[in-house]
Amino acid sequence: MNKFSRKAITLVAMFGSITGSALAQSAKPFKKDNLVIYRIGDMHSGSDINTYNACPIYLDEYNVSGEKPVLVQSIGLPTKTIGENKRIVAVGKEVWSGWISLSNDGQHIVVPGYDASLGTEIANKPAESVNRVAALVGVDGSVNSSFVLSNAFNNSAFRSVATIDGSEIWAAGGGGINNGGIFYLKKGEQQGVNIGGATFMQIKYVDGDLLACEKARIYKIGSGKVTEAPKKFTNLTGDPIFTDATSFAFVNVDKTGNNPQKVLYLLSYNNGVAKYSMVKNKWELNGIYKDESITKGNAIEGKLVDGKIKLYVISTGNTRGGDGKLIEIIDNAGHGQDIDGSSKLLLKSAENQTFRSLSWAPVKK
């Protein structure tokens, strides 16, 4: 495994300063194959980033096609209520929350957060007094933060959210049976329907299936619009290999034929990345990749590029502002083989800011 080079550290300093000075501007359409990072905090956040106080949320779009990421734009989410759009802020110190996802139709990024004033303490508050909010950010950069949950994740974290096409959402978080797990919410309503479970980390739609990670396993919740609790969730990854899994990514290695080759990457907060391959409709573990650079792994995405899989990992301990990292892992191995490659540090968050998760950019069909 490699150590960070001097060149990588130079990139950190350069891009960290750019991120720190970038202000939210008029949004423009996202570009295909760009990566979007969920960033918490800005130059005004100060010590709030190290507390359970409310901090602003930004979506930073990067072109990652070259040797180093290039910042395209920063979209600031609302910190004031305007019409139907609610405030949407994040908890500075709550590491296991803030997973964004791409909608199933590829037209939106959906973002979890809270309706509260900047600088106020919001962690572990009742949902009725501090509503849980989801924002949809469209292909043109427009923001709709009108989805409000007032009956879910009381005194616990709202961690992630998914959508098919932006007309309804599926929210995941902590709080135990009935109060936590997964909730379904129609647009215009505030009382979500509990779908089941006790606590989940990341939730998202993949090829029409609603999938969720709960620290030990990835479950298939159902297909299409899951509007009521199913009889059971389907365990995709079998016996646990991690107890601190946070995020997951699927990549089609070969899309040809009737049985396309698919791989699955499951990220641990402390123990690296597990790789699975689909064999005869079952996910089989290939192995675990560990690297000194990907401790505190919070989010992962992947894509096939020139026959190799590029993985992008967000690492954040959030013990202080400026500890967010974007790390690239090249997997040279194919379907059914353990990860064969090395990692490289691409980007580091600026002072009073951190990274929490990431997604591929939505693009117009």
DSSP state of 363: -
Q: Does 279 map to a domain?
A: yes
Residue 336 lies in a domain: yes
d(CA 221, CA 231): 10
* Per-position pLDDT tens, the chain of length 365: 443 333 343 333 333 333 333 334 479 999 999 999 999 999 899 989 999 999 999 999 999 999 999 999 999 999 999 999 999 999 988 889 999 999 999 999 999 999 999 999 999 999 999 999 999 999 999 999 999 999 999 999 999 999 999 999 999 999 999 999 999 999 999 999 999 999 999 999 999 999 999 999 999 999 999 999 999 999 999 999 999 999 999 999 876 655 678 999 999 999 999 999 999 889 999 999 998 888 899 999 999 998 899 999 999 987 778 899 999 999 999 899 999 988 999 999 999 999 999 999 999 98
- Which run of H or E residues covers position 11? helix 6-21
Distances (CA, A) of 362 to 61, 133, 305, 330: 11, 20, 18, 23
Which amino acid belongs to residue 270?
A: N
- At residue 65, φ and ψ (nearest 5 deg) are -80, -20
pLDDT of 9: 33
**205, 163 contact by CB (below 8 A):** yes
Write the CB contacts of 14 (distance below 8 Å, at least 6 apart in sequence).
none
* Predicted pLDDT of residue 15: 39
Residue-number span of the structural domain to which 143 is assigned: 6-360
How many degrees, rounded to 5, is the angle at CA 276 between CA 300 and CA 279? 140
Asked, for residue 1, whether it belongs to a domain, the answer is no
- Residue 71 in any domain: the answer is yes
Residue 2's pLDDT is what? 41
pLDDT computed for residue 24 by the predictor: 42
We report the CATH number of the domain holding residue 148 as 2.120.10.30
Q: Is 337 helix (H, G, I), strand (E, B) or coil?
A: coil
93, part of any domain? yes
In the chain, how many domains are there?
1
Q: Report if residue 34 sits inside a domain.
A: yes
Residue 365 lies in a domain: no
pTM of the model: 0.91
